[in-house]
Amino acid sequence: MRRFQTTAVHAGREDFTELGVHAPPMDLSTTYPVRDLAEGGESFSALVGGQAEAANPIYARLHNPTVARTERAIAALEGTQACVAYGSGMATLTAVLMARQAHGRHVLVVRPLYGTSDHLLASGMCGLEAEFVHPEDIAARRRDDTALVVIETPGNPTLDLVDIRAVVDAAGDVPVLVDSTFATPVLQNPANLGARYVLHSATKFLGGHGDVIAGVVCCAEEDAAPLRTMRAATGALLHPMAAFLLHRGLPTLPLRVERAQANAKELARRLQGHPAVAAVYYPGLGTVRNAELVGTQMCGPGTLISFEARGGHDAAAALMSKVKLMTPAVSLGSVDTLIQHPAGLTHRMLDEATRKSTGITEGLLRLSVGIEDVEDLWEDLDAALG
């Protein structure tokens, strides 16, 4: 079996020799000639029915070779049979929720998680009843109509960790979805711990350069088939240009994560001793819930840091206005460093009580550390804090 870094470079390229290419080809066709009607009809039925491929792609909403190649590469990184790609991370979560409706309308959810994910679940927009629980309460709150358990680890934005294997055990025969965006396949593989769905906002680390919106879910083939059917019916297929950019970014994923993580470790350490910082939340410092999972569930503490600015909202807003090298913007996982204010931006749609109960205060800032020189990053951050 190939090691992870080699897989990151070569996955999804198995047919390149046959094709006679070195770089991933990009197929922008919206439709494909059907010269054999019987074959075309069989292909149409197969793709609408959720099969990964057919003799004829028929129409790009049903199948695109560039997207399929990228899906195979990401599935290889997560160690799953299949991967299904969508136009965004939120489209991916929505598809899984809709696909699970056939099994029940009740979903157990552990906070914190991405603000829009929280909003989607709490609002009932997908026709599901979301019950927000602590991990230790999952077994007791399970019902006959519970269709899914949703967790995010590390959690957005506090970086609290959730014990995936413990949640899977508590969920019993109810599938567990893990949003593993913050960890990436470099640091964590939830499927190896029993998770049935592994979700990534591929906009973040998998793309890695701030130029693509995408989402993927990795799972077994039997779970991928209904997701492909849902995608074909709703038109949520990832565009081939976005798939091309994702595939292009995968070979450097381990290098980007390792370099950014080294920077994050050092910045977290320095922030912890800064007089303008009240608290630092980083798994590598042991300052988040279940930090002991670093080294077992996760093979590293990651590239994101959250910290509390002394002075609350005004201090946080002032810092965002003063950084020069870092970009004050939402999103994360890019090669450059981004800083944002969860209470005012990504988690703004949550009510105040929910934000407070999950540790999202007015002074909390989330730092997505990039691959720049750590001394330049510190000089920028220190000056803005000062």
CATH of domain 253-385: 3.90.1150.10
Q: What is the pLDDT of residue 200?
A: 98
Give the separation between CA 304 and CA 156, rounded to whole angstroms: 10
* Annotated catalytic residue within 13, 59, 61, 72: 61
pLDDT at position 281: 98
Identify the active-site residue in 204, 231, 289, 355: 204
Q: Which of 163, 179, 223, 380 is catalytic?
A: 179
Q: Which of 59, 114, 197, 282 is catalytic?
A: 114
Kindly list the averaged pLDDT for each block of 10 residues, start to end, along the chain of length 386: 94 94 95 98 98 97 97 98 98 97 97 96 94 98 98 98 98 98 98 98 98 98 97 95 97 98 98 98 98 98 98 97 98 98 94 92 98 98 96
Question: Would you call 134 exposed, middle or buried from its count of C-beta atoms within 10 A (0-12, 13-18, 19+)?
Answer: exposed
Our answer to whether residue 111 is catalytic in this structure is no
CA distances, 149 to each of 86, 175, 204 (Å): 21, 6, 23
CB atoms within 10 A of CB 386: 10
pLDDT value for 1: 77
Domain boundaries, the chain: 253-385
Q: What is the pLDDT of residue 234?
A: 94
Q: Is 86 a catalytic residue?
A: no
Six-digit token string for 318: 């002032």
Is 322 among the catalytic positions?
no
Known active-site residue 204: yes
Per-residue pLDDT, 193: 98
Q: Is 110 exposed, middle or buried (0-12, 13-18, 19+ CB in 10 A)?
A: buried
